[in-house]
Structure 1
Amino acid sequence: MKFEWKGVFPALTTKFTAGEQLDLPAFEKNLQAQLEAGVDGIILGGTLGEASTLSAEEKQTLVQFAIEKINGRVPVILNIAEGSTKVAIEVAQNAQKLGADGLMILPPMRYKSDHRETVAYFKAVAQQTDLPMMIYNNPVDYKIEVTLDMFEELADCQNIQAVKESTRDVSNVTRMINRFGNRFQILCGVDTLALESLLMGADGWVAGLVCAFPKETVAIYKLAKAGRIQEALHIYRWFLPLLELDIHPKLVQYIKLAESVTGLGTEYVRSPRLTLEGAERERVLQIIREGVSKRPILPEYKNL
């Protein structure tokens, strides 16, 4: 499938049973809600997908299941988060064989590669697959920044097409555009900077709280791109306390709790993560319940 890196791409959570097995019925329910809301693609095996706890076989199951259920309506993207170049290439090639439409890729895991090593890693993977790729630039959480100079060296890899911009510096959207024009499509990867990034020219939003609030997320994107800024702001200001759950180390537990409240998932996570309890759970639950109680009425947005 040919597609553009534009619009809302949910970083889907991986649904588990109480026994930590894949819960495909719960996954399908959430997936259908995303499609109904009008998302433009889905991403599997990211941070929210608890990638570090998934086996290769489980990732394969999720990809195959998503492709079957989506049936060509939107692209299916698999995240690559590996410690070796060899394994990253294997994941990319296997994803292509399974029928995935694209890849999101982090710098090497567990080793802090330097400029030369990081560029070589991305190039090595890009040269071994035909799939379009989006680089995930998140130096806050993963300690390696993909700099503008690195992107300059990667520009000759035609299948490196986009960046998930998670530096938490919204000015980086403008820096990328000033340096590269439209060579790389830019998707905001931080929920609390999404509207700001879209207004600065970002092409899309790799979203987290979309897992629990798909319609509101897509509405903000559509309204912003249609120039209906005040309507987008109204929803975004309501949304912000919820979006802030995306920038906490326990974002997986927080967002899964939100999914359980909105009926789009369960709280179950895979160890070493543990479900929330006590005062922490009550604090997060209060934020979620307050947001749900004040949920805005959305304008018609799908055809914007």
Structure 2
Amino acid sequence: MQVCWKGVMPAVTTKFTENDALDLEMFEINIRAQVEAGVHGIILGGTLGEASTLTDAEKKTLVEKTVEIVDGKIPVILNIAEQTTKGAIDLAQKAAEYGASGLMMLPPMRYKANDYETVTYFKEVANSTELPIMIYNNPVDYGIEVTLDMFAELAECKNIQAIKESTRDTTNITRLKARFGDRYAVFCGVDTLALETMAIGADGWVAGLVCAFPAETVAIYELCKAGRMDEAIAIYRWFMPLLELDINPQLVQNIKMAEVATGIGTEHVRAPRLPLIGDERKRVQKIIDEGVAARPTLPAYKGIND
């Protein structure tokens, strides 16, 4: 199906059993909760999805299962985080075969490519597929920044259509919109900056805590886009301690703990990740417990921007 680059797109966690196999039963529960809340797309195999630990067979299963669950209601997007151009092209082509509607792409993994190499990498993958692409720009975690000049070069690839902006610099939203207008859809990729960036023109939010709190996340987006900022801010202020769990090296463990608290996930992670222990676990659990206890009553937000 066609990707409409706007709205809330969860970077969903990958569910595992205690025996380290895919937990498709709990995965389906979570995906259905996302769809029911009104998300606008599903992103698989991102940082939260523990992409670096997944086998090709598991990626295939996750895409095919998600396509089956969403049943044409929203697009399914697969993240590409590969070490080689050849591997990225292969996965892009397989994603289309599996039924994915689009791709999200990080720069090359492990090797710190220069600007020319990074642009060439993106172009070669884009030219190998008809699927639309979102570039994931996260120099904080992955060491390579895709600059405005690099996006100017990438604009020749018509299927590079969106940007996940995770530089932590909110002024980049304005810079991108000022330079490129509507050439690229721009998504916030940092939970703690979401409302601010949408207020200044971001088209959507690739979210993390949405995995545990889908309705609250979509409500913030819909209210913001409807100009009902006071209502959006009230929910956002409640949400902030939870959103800060996303900007942490153990974000996967944090968010999976939150999913347990809201009944739509398990805590199982894939080694070398391990569940939190000790004082840090107590700290995170306290934030989650307090957030769940104070969970706001949401206004009717569905359809207010139709």
Q: Following TM superposition, by how much is the alpha carbon of 1:98 offset from its aligned partner in structure 2, in angstroms?
A: 1.3
CA contact (8 A) 2:3 2:132 kept: no
Q: Which amino acid aligns with 1:199?
A: A
How high is the TM-score relative to the length of structure 2?
0.99
Q: Which amino acid aligns with 1:75?
A: P
2:122 partner SS: helix
Q: Following TM superposition, by how much is the alpha carbon of 1:3 offset from its aligned partner in structure 2, in angstroms?
A: 2.4
Deviations 1:63-91 (A, max 9, x none): 00001111100000000000000000000
User: Aligned-pair RMSD on alpha carbons?
Assistant: 0.5
Unaligned segments of structure 1, at least 5 residues? none
Mapped partners of 2:28, 2:276: distance in 1: 24
Mapped partners of 2:238, 2:102: distance in 1: 33
How many residue pairs were aligned? 304
2:63 partner SS: helix
Q: Following TM superposition, by how much is the alpha carbon of 1:179 offset from its aligned partner in structure 2, in angstroms?
A: 0.5
Q: Following TM superposition, by how much is the alpha carbon of 1:262 offset from its aligned partner in structure 2, in angstroms?
A: 0.7
How high is the TM-score relative to the length of structure 1?
1.00
Instruction: Tell me the equivalent position of 2:4.
Output: 4
Q: Which amino acid aligns with 1:289?
A: D
* 2:110 is the alignment partner of 1:128: no
Instruction: Tell me the equivalent position of 1:51.
Output: 51
Instruction: Tell me the equivalent position of 2:145.
Output: 145
Unaligned segments of structure 2, at least 5 residues? none
Q: Which amino acid aligns with 2:40?
A: D
Q: Following TM superposition, by how much is the alpha carbon of 1:171 offset from its aligned partner in structure 2, in angstroms?
A: 0.4
Mapped partners of 1:282, 1:15: distance in 2: 23
Mapped partners of 2:296, 2:26: distance in 1: 26
CA contact (8 A) 2:30 2:211 kept: yes
For residues 3-22 of structure 1, what are the structure 2 equivalents within 5 Å? 3-22=3-22
Deviations 1:26-57 (A, max 9, x none): 00000000000000000000000000000000
2:121 partner SS: helix
Instruction: Tell me the equivalent position of 2:25.
Output: 25
For residues 86-165 of structure 1, what are the structure 2 equivalents within 5 Å? 86-165=86-165
Mapped partners of 2:243, 2:39: distance in 1: 17
Mapped partners of 1:16, 1:3: distance in 2: 28
Q: Which amino acid aligns with 1:226?
A: A
CA contact (8 A) 2:3 2:102 kept: no
- Deviating above 4 A after TM superposition, structure 1's stretches of 4 or more consecutive aligned residues are none
CA contact (8 A) 2:16 2:270 kept: yes
Q: Following TM superposition, by how much is the alpha carbon of 1:145 offset from its aligned partner in structure 2, in angstroms?
A: 0.2
For residues 1-304 of structure 1, what are the structure 2 equivalents within 5 Å? 1-304=1-304
Matched residues, percent identical?
Answer: 67
Q: Following TM superposition, by how much is the alpha carbon of 1:196 offset from its aligned partner in structure 2, in angstroms?
A: 0.3
2:96 partner SS: helix
1:13 partner SS: coil
1:104 partner SS: strand
1:163 partner SS: strand
Mapped partners of 1:250, 1:229: distance in 2: 31
